[in-house]
Structure 1
Amino acid sequence: MAESMHDVQRRINSTKATRQITSAMQMVSSAKLNQIQRQATGYQEYVSKVKAVVMHLAKSHLLENNSSSNLQSNRPVKKTAYMVITSDRGMVGSYNSNVLRDTNRFIDEHTPNRDDYMVLAIGGTGADFYKRQGVNVAYEYRGVSDVPTFDEVRDIVKTVTTMYSNEVFDELFVCYNHFVNRISSSFRAEKMLPVDSETLSTDAAKETKTHELNAIYDLDPSPEEVLSVVLPQYAESLVYGAILDAKTEEHASSSNAMKSATDNADDLIGDLQLHYNRARQAAITTEITEITGGQEAIGK
Structure 2
Amino acid sequence: MGAQLRVYRQKIKSAKTTKKITRAMELIAASRIQKAQQRVAASLPYSRAVTRAVSGVATFSNVDHVLTTEPEKIERAAIVIFSSDRGLAGAFNTNVLREAEELATLLQSQGREVVYYLVGRKSVGYFGFRKRAYEQSWIGETENPVFETAKEIGDAVVAKFLQPASEGGVDEIHIVYNRFISMLTQSPEVVRLLPLEIVEGVEPPAENEVLPLYEFEPEASDVLDALLPVYIESRIFNAMLQSAASKHAATQKAMKSASDNADKLIDTYTRLANNARQSEITQQISEIVGGADALSSAKK
Sort the TM-score into its range (normalised by shorter chain).
0.7 to 0.9
1:71 is aligned to 2:67: yes
CA contact (8 A) 2:77 2:112 kept: no
State the Cα distance separating 1:132 from its structure 2 match. 4.5
Aligned to 1:272: 269
3-state SS of paired residue (1:177): strand
Task: Report % sequence identity.
Answer: 26
Task: Give distance in 1, aligned partners of 2:8 and 2:57.
Answer: 69
Q: Deviations over 1:44-98 (max 9, x none)?
A: 11111111212222332x2x4242xx53354442210011111222211111111
Q: 1:259 to 1:216 in 2, by over 3 A?
A: farther
Task: Give distance in 1, aligned partners of 2:127 and 2:204.
Answer: 37
State the Cα distance separating 1:133 from its structure 2 match. 4.4
Question: 274-283 or 29-38, which moves further after superposition?
Answer: 29-38
Q: 2:124 aligns with which of 127, 147, 150?
A: 127
CA contact (8 A) 2:85 2:142 kept: no
Task: Give distance in 2, aligned partners of 1:207 and 1:288.
Answer: 91
CA RMSD of aligned residues (A): 2.4
3-state SS of paired residue (1:217): coil
Amino acid at match of 1:151: E
Q: Deviations over 1:180-200 (max 9, x none)?
A: 1111122211011122xxx31
Aligned to 2:195: 194
Q: Deviations over 1:88-123 (max 9, x none)?
A: 222111111111112211222233278611111111
State the Cα distance separating 1:160 from its structure 2 match. 1.8
TM-score by structure 1 length? 0.87
TM-score by structure 2 length? 0.87
Aligned to 1:83: 80
1:146 is aligned to 2:147: no
Task: Give distance in 1, aligned partners of 2:129 and 2:51.
Answer: 37
1:294 is aligned to 2:291: yes
Structure with larger Rg: 2
Q: 1:252 to 1:298 in 2, by over 3 A?
A: same
3-state SS of paired residue (1:56): helix
The count of residues paired between Structure 1 and Structure 2 equals: 288
Map 1:147-296; keep pairs closer than 5 Å. 147-167=144-164, 168-195=169-196, 199-200=197-198, 203-205=200-202, 216-296=213-293
3-state SS of paired residue (1:82): strand
CA contact (8 A) 1:178 1:187 kept: yes
